[in-house]
Chain A
Amino acid sequence: MINLVHNELIKLVRKKRLYVVIAILAVLVCLFTYAQMKQVESMQERLGTLDWRTELQQEITNTQNRLNSSGISDEWRGYLQIQVSQQEYYLEQDINPSAPGAPTFMRVFIENAIDLVLPLLVVVVVADLVSSESSAGTIKMLLTRPVKRWRILLSKFLTMVFSVSFIVLSMGVLSYVISGAVFGYSGWSLPILTGFAVEGEELVTTNVRLIEQWEYILMELGLSWFVGITVGAITLMLSVLMRSTAAVMGVMLAALISGAILSNMVSSWETAKYFFMVNLRVTNYISGMGAPIEGMTLGFSLMVLTVWGLVALLVAFITFTRKDVY
Chain B
Amino acid sequence: MKMNLVTVVASLSIVATIVWIIGLGMTINDQLLQESSAGSPPASTSDEAEQSSDTFLLALGDSLTRGTGDLQGQGYVTYLLDELKSRSDQSIQLSNLAVRGYTSEELLNQLEQTEIQRQIAQADMIFMTIGGNDLFQGGQALSVDSAFIIENSTETYLENLEEIYSAIESANGDTTVYHLGLYNPFNQLDGAEMTSSAVRNWNNESAEIAAKFDHVVFVPTYDLFQLDVNDFIYSDQFHPNNEGYQLIGRRLAALITLNEGGEGDE
Q: Give the interface of A toward B (CB within 8 A).
A: 5-6, 9-10, 12-14, 18, 47-49, 51, 53-54, 56-58, 61, 64-65, 68-69, 88, 91-95, 161-163, 165-166, 168-169, 191, 193-195, 205-211, 215, 218-226, 285-286, 298-299, 302
Given known contacts A218-B26, A219-B30, is B17 in contact with A94 (CB within 8 Å)?
no
Whether the Cβ atoms of A168 and B20 lie closer than 8 Å is yes
Given known contacts A47-B93, A222-B25, is B119 in contact with A13 (CB within 8 Å)?
no
Given known contacts A13-B9, A218-B26, A225-B23, is B14 in contact with A209 (CB within 8 Å)?
no
Whether the Cβ atoms of A162 and B32 lie closer than 8 Å is no
B115: contacting residue among A49, A91, A223, CB under 8 A? A91
Which A residues are CB-close (under 8 A) to B42? 93, 95, 191, 193, 208-210
B5: contacting residue among A5, A13, A161, CB under 8 A? A13
Shortest distance between the CB of B223 and any CB in chain A (Å): 29
Q: Give the interface of B toward A (CB within 8 A).
A: 2, 5-6, 9-10, 12-14, 16-17, 19-28, 30-32, 35-36, 38-46, 49-50, 52, 54, 66, 91-102, 113-116, 118-119
Whether the Cβ atoms of B21 and A58 lie closer than 8 Å is no
Whether the Cβ atoms of A286 and B9 lie closer than 8 Å is no
Whether the Cβ atoms of A165 and B91 lie closer than 8 Å is no
A222: contacting residue among B27, B32, B38, B93, CB under 8 A? B27
Whether the Cβ atoms of B93 and A286 lie closer than 8 Å is no
B101: contacting residue among A68, A163, A206, A225, CB under 8 A? A68
Per the bound structure, the CA–CA distance linking A119 and B156 in Å amounts to 56
Whether the Cβ atoms of A165 and B13 lie closer than 8 Å is yes
Per the bound structure, the CA–CA distance linking A226 and B22 in Å amounts to 11
Which B residues are CB-close (under 8 A) to A54? 93, 95, 119
Shortest distance between the CB of B24 and any CB in chain A (Å): 3
Which A residues are CB-close (under 8 A) to B24? 219, 222-223, 225-226
Per the bound structure, the CA–CA distance linking A221 and B27 in Å amounts to 10
Per the bound structure, the CA–CA distance linking A61 and B14 in Å amounts to 47
B32: contacting residue among A18, A165, A218, A298, CB under 8 A? A298
Shortest distance between the CB of A23 and any CB in chain B (Å): 15
Given known contacts A13-B9, A54-B95, A208-B38, is B45 in contact with A94 (CB within 8 Å)?
yes
B99: contacting residue among A61, A95, A194, CB under 8 A? A61
Whether the Cβ atoms of B95 and A207 lie closer than 8 Å is no
Of the A-B pairs whose beta carbons lie under 8 Å apart in the complex, a sample of 5, sorted by A's number, is: A13-B2, A47-B93, A193-B42, A218-B19, A221-B19
Whether the Cβ atoms of A195 and B38 lie closer than 8 Å is yes
Whether the Cβ atoms of B96 and A58 lie closer than 8 Å is yes
Whether the Cβ atoms of B6 and A10 lie closer than 8 Å is yes
Per the bound structure, the CA–CA distance linking A272 and B102 in Å amounts to 37
Residue of A nearest to B28 (CB): A302
Shortest distance between the CB of B124 and any CB in chain A (Å): 14
Which A residues are CB-close (under 8 A) to B16? 165-166, 168-169
Which A residues are CB-close (under 8 A) to B119? 53-54, 57
B12, B13, B30, B113 pick with most chain A CB within 10 angstroms: B13
Given known contacts A65-B99, A191-B45, is B20 in contact with A207 (CB within 8 Å)?
no
